[in-house]
Amino acid sequence: MNPVIVNQGKSPVVLAMPHGGQQIPAAIAARLNDLGRRIDDTDWWIDRLYDDLLDDPTVVKATFSRYVADANRAPDNESLYPGQNTTGICSPLSFDGKPIYRAGQEPDSAEIETRIKQFHEPYHQALRAQIERIKALHGVAVVYDCHSIRSHIPYLFEGELPVFNIGTNGGATCNPKIEACVVEVCKGAEDYSFALNGRFKGGWTTRHYGQPDQGVHVIQMELAQRAYMEEKPPWSYRTDRAEQIRPYLKALLLKIEALALGGQLR
């Protein structure tokens, strides 16, 4: 299994997609229970949703399921949200807090380390290489971390999640102009709700790579899946819904790109 697919572009924007993968090695799949094999917590259709919104972005996509390894968690498994329910780098639980492995088949610490080396590290090696390449081309690189999640997950958050969930770790991971232009677009999307640094403040990718003083800017977008798909198996893509939200995603990506190309992030 190739753990990562990279499509190189020349735009200053890099689209990172750590959770859209669905591949699970057979030896791991055999130990998952029926719920685990259903991979409910995938960021379904995220690559299709963002396809062709920019002319020439770099796209870095994990091919493996987050149930194999979570590419948006810290390698040391430090919690991103202390005191709140969350899942780890090789979580034995689903987003609903339910076991995804057959009894006694959860990975031990040695297996987790192996998975990190086989899946997590190659993804981040590829992402890091593309950030460095784009920064060499433009003087800056902007990573837009693409995510989606079900609208209702009581184990993780109360009530219904807003559609647009913007994460910059309190403004620390990107130039304020990037955050401002994304907020502007989301505010203008009257049919959709939004939150800035609410339940989702940016995962490990955002916090690890976001160093605006070094010319690397990162912003995470966690979309509520009701905006573009059915939130139950078989997780169908809804073109009618997607085509309503895609113009807003395109608008904010174009604004980010323009900031970078216009030298406003240096």
On whether the pTM is more than 0.95, the answer is: yes
For residue 82, count CB atoms less than 10 angstroms from its CB and return exposed for 0-12, middle for 13-18, buried for 19 or more: exposed
Q: Supply the CATH number for residue 46's domain.
A: 3.40.630.40
Residue-wise pLDDT tens digits, 181-226: 999 999 999 999 999 999 999 999 999 999 999 999 999 999 999 9
| Position 157 in a domain | yes
| Position 61 in a domain | yes
How many structural domains comprise the chain?
A: 1
| Position 12 in a domain | yes
Place of tokens 């798909």: 229
C-alpha distance from residue 147 to each of 12, 88, 108, 223 (Å): 19, 16, 28, 6
| Position 49 in a domain | yes
Element (H, E) at 28: helix 26-29
Residue-wise pLDDT tens digits, 79-134: 778 778 789 999 999 999 999 999 999 999 999 999 999 999 999 999 999 999 99
For residue 68, count CB atoms less than 10 angstroms from its CB and return exposed for 0-12, middle for 13-18, buried for 19 or more: buried
| Position 109 in a domain | yes
- Tell me which residue range forms the domain holding 49: 4-261
CA pseudo-torsion sign 225, 231, 236, 242: negative
| Position 136 in a domain | yes
| Position 266 in a domain | no
Structure tokens given for 116: 């990190």
| Position 10 in a domain | yes
